[in-house]
Amino acid sequence: MIQIQHVSKTYDNRSIIKDISFQVEKGESFGIIGPNGSGKSTLLKLCSGIEKSNKGTIQINGNQMYTYTKRQLAKWIGVLQQEALPLIGFSVREVVEMGRYPYQNWMGSEKQDTEQLITDIMEKLEIEPLKNRTLEQLSGGERQRVALGKVMAQQPQILMLDEPTTYLDIGHQVQMMDYIRNWQTQNQLTVISVLHDLNLAAMYCDRLLLLHEGEIVKVGTPSEVLKSELISQVYGTEPIVFTHPELNVPQLLLKSK
Ligand SMILES: Nc1ncnc2c1ncn2[C@@H]1O[C@H](COP(=O)(O)OP(=O)(O)OP(=O)(O)O)[C@@H](O)[C@H]1O
């Protein structure tokens, strides 16, 4: 579905992403993890086309990314960025409807009637009761669900998420990740997420990419990547790694030094 080959990125002569190659299959949930400043967000921006690489190629569904127009790319890739939501004035429903822009003509209308699609998405995310409120009248968790609703309305094949659970409490973190996983499994959606929380990453990702100083340390299943020695080498703190008693995935406990 998405293939990254020998991709590098420099900012101001600083090498941020160094010759990275990996691929993500259709329907897969793929997590990018690594310490602060390791290049996770930059890598995601390269994968979504927000930033251009200095070297290497990115293919979406077998075609070079640069061959897609912005509008075509928006039908393939949806990016969840909370800070990108308009701040004032728009109602919740209007914001979700904005996700339809790749399908609209220059007058903002489209052939398909999307009333029902928008209502279904809002019901699924339990934001229908908030539909007439404006964004500044919402909590952080509600705003995050609206942001997800907007990107769902875009009906992308690939969803890219940069820290989707930041500012959410544990209940809302799990709720958010469950919404995404349900959407993923029901629609064969491909998901690429940058996650700081390694326990959530292990619970919700099929494979993980561990990044350190712009280079891949390891790509593999959560059990292959979340090993005490690797985490200690990259994050500088050695965790206790154990297996989740119900989900059978690795989980980490922190130790003080
Ligand atoms: N537009 C930019 N111009 C210059 N340097 C940048 C730019 N964007 C990111 N960087 C630098 O690239 C490096 C990697 O940043 P990036 O945001 O990709 O890391 P990250 O792993 O997502 O970090 P964090 O976990 O702290 O969010 C950092 O040193 C950052 O200062």
Mutate to test the pocket of ligand 1, among 8, 32, 33, 42 (most ligand atoms within 8 A of CB): 42
DSSP SS3 for 17:
strand
The reply to whether ligand 1 has any atom less than 6 angstroms from the CB of 34 is: yes
The reply to whether ligand 1 has any atom less than 6 angstroms from the CB of 214 is: no
Structural contact between residues 190 and 28, judged by C-beta atoms closer than 8 angstroms: yes
- Between CA 75 and CA 183 the distance in angstroms is 16
Partnered with residue 10 across adjacent β-strands are 15
Q: Which residues of 222-237 are buried (b: 16+ CB within 10 A; e: fewer)?
A: beebbbeebbeebbee
Tell me what pLDDT residue 139 has.
87
Tell me what pLDDT residue 101 has.
83
Q: Tell me the percentage of the chain whose pLDDT exceeds 90.
A: 74
Q: Which of 104-108, 167-171, 214-218 has the lowest mean pLDDT?
A: 104-108
Structural contact between residues 168 and 181, judged by C-beta atoms closer than 8 angstroms: no
The reply to whether ligand 1 has any atom less than 6 angstroms from the CB of 37 is: yes
DSSP SS3 for 229:
helix
The reply to whether ligand 1 has any atom less than 6 angstroms from the CB of 16 is: yes
Tell me what pLDDT residue 111 has.
73
- Between CA 239 and CA 253 the distance in angstroms is 6
- Between CA 19 and CA 11 the distance in angstroms is 15
- Between CA 211 and CA 196 the distance in angstroms is 12
The reply to whether ligand 1 has any atom less than 6 angstroms from the CB of 114 is: no
Q: Where are the domains of the chain?
A: 87-155
Ligand 1 atom 29: the closest Cα is on which residue?
37
pLDDT digits (tens, 9 = 90+) for 105-161: 776 677 777 889 999 999 988 999 999 999 888 888 888 899 999 999 999 999 999
Assess whether pLDDT exceeds 70 at residue 36.
yes
Q: Name the token pair of 33.
A: 């993890």
DSSP SS3 for 93:
helix
Cβ neighbours for 65, distance < 8 A, ≥ 6 positions apart: 49, 57, 58, 59, 73
**Average pLDDT rounded to a whole number, residues 211-232:** 96
Tell me what pLDDT residue 82 has.
60
Ligand 1 atom 24: the closest Cα is on which residue?
36
* Interface predicted TM-score (ipTM) over 0.95: yes
Confidence of residue 100 (pLDDT cuts 50, 70, 90): confident
- Between CA 218 and CA 43 the distance in angstroms is 15
Confidence of residue 87 (pLDDT cuts 50, 70, 90): low
Ligand 1 atom 23: the closest Cα is on which residue?
37
Mutate to test the pocket of ligand 1, among 40, 44, 165, 195 (most ligand atoms within 8 A of CB): 40
Structural contact between residues 31 and 200, judged by C-beta atoms closer than 8 angstroms: no
Tell me what pLDDT residue 192 has.
97
pLDDT digits (tens, 9 = 90+) for 11-30: 999 999 999 999 999 999 99
Write down the mean pLDDT value for the chain.
92
Tell me what pLDDT residue 104 has.
78
Q: Which is more confidently placed, 89 or 188?
A: 188
Enter the DSSP assignment of 134: B
- Between CA 161 and CA 49 the distance in angstroms is 14
**Average pLDDT rounded to a whole number, residues 235-243:** 94
DSSP SS3 for 21:
strand
The reply to whether ligand 1 has any atom less than 6 angstroms from the CB of 40 is: yes
Q: Which of 37-46, 84-93, 133-142 has the lowest mean pLDDT?
A: 84-93
The reply to whether ligand 1 has any atom less than 6 angstroms from the CB of 36 is: yes
